[in-house]
Amino acid sequence: MEIKEMRGLILYNRNYREDDKLVKIFTETAGKRMFFIKHASKSKLSSVIQPLTQANFLVKLNDVGLSYIHDYHDANLYKVINEDIFVLSYATYLVALADAAIIDNQPDPHLFAFLVKTLELMNEGLDYEILTNIFEVQILERFGAQLNFHECVFCHRVGQRFDFSYQYSGLLCPKHYDKDLKRSQLDPNVPYLLDKFQSVQFDELRTISVKPEMKQKLRHFIDGIYDNYVGIQLKSKKFIDDLSKWGDVMRKDS
């Protein structure tokens, strides 16, 4: 087997037998792979297999069964993310979401780049809730949901006071509200921001600023979209939901 070098992000690791570990890595060029680490506690790899660590790995890949890590260099731990339980819980959720969105062994360098860039911006201190929303909106396509937050599904008019129709999987302008009497009524800024999030460039992210009340409305609407179109229950998402319940109290005390 030939040794290949590739950039990778640790998704998770788990114990295997006595002192061995299985490590799931999202690699840039070979997709998600499971690696076997023998005698993990004594291995030179022990520090580089923690979740959210990024490095260049020298690996031996098996298409069937486990792969092996020979060595690594240029490891990068997201220090700021790891030091704040709020940022860490959101970053953990994004990684779990990316894990759920793609199947093993299939390269997705675009998603890899997007995930790594989002984590880097979180680590730089940009708004982690908004970065999470942007990631959630852009990764919807990977789950098979192609939603348009730009125009009315019937007349394609833009810039209206839109509501959202689950029945038609899209926006309704006031002229077409009556097509779906069970439509979700929205704060006009919700579809406006989601439309922006869908096509946002990384350079623009530094200038996006959203008030807490609007963040709550976005969170609520995106949760509805995920319940309807994605339907996965991630432990890391439940953790965020619980965190937000007592998080404000904790922040005030600290």
Binding region for Zn ion (CB under 5 A) = 152, 154-155, 173, 175-176
User: H or E segment at 235?
Assistant: helix 235-253
Distance in Å, CB of 181 to Zn ion, minimum: 15
Decide whether 155 or 250 has the Cβ nearer to Zn ion.
155
3-state secondary structure of 221: helix
Q: For residue 100, what are its two tokens?
A: 């759920």
Distance in Å, CB of 199 to Zn ion, minimum: 21
Decide whether 86 or 177 has the Cβ nearer to Zn ion.
177
Decide whether 142 or 179 has the Cβ nearer to Zn ion.
179
Assign residue 144 a region (left: φ > 0; alpha: ψ between -120 and 50; beta: otherwise): left
Cα–Cα distance for residue pair 223/246, rounded to 1 Å: 19
Decide whether 129 or 163 has the Cβ nearer to Zn ion.
163
Strands (E), the chain: 4-16, 20-27, 31-37, 53-60, 67-77, 163-165, 170-172
Distance in Å, CB of 240 to Zn ion, minimum: 35
Decide whether 39 or 175 has the Cβ nearer to Zn ion.
175
Angle at 189 between CA 185 and CA 193, to 5 degrees: 115
Distance in Å, CB of 160 to Zn ion, minimum: 7
| Residue number with the smallest Cβ distance to Zn ion | 152
Distance in Å, CB of 148 to Zn ion, minimum: 12
Angle at 208 between CA 203 and CA 214, to 5 degrees: 150
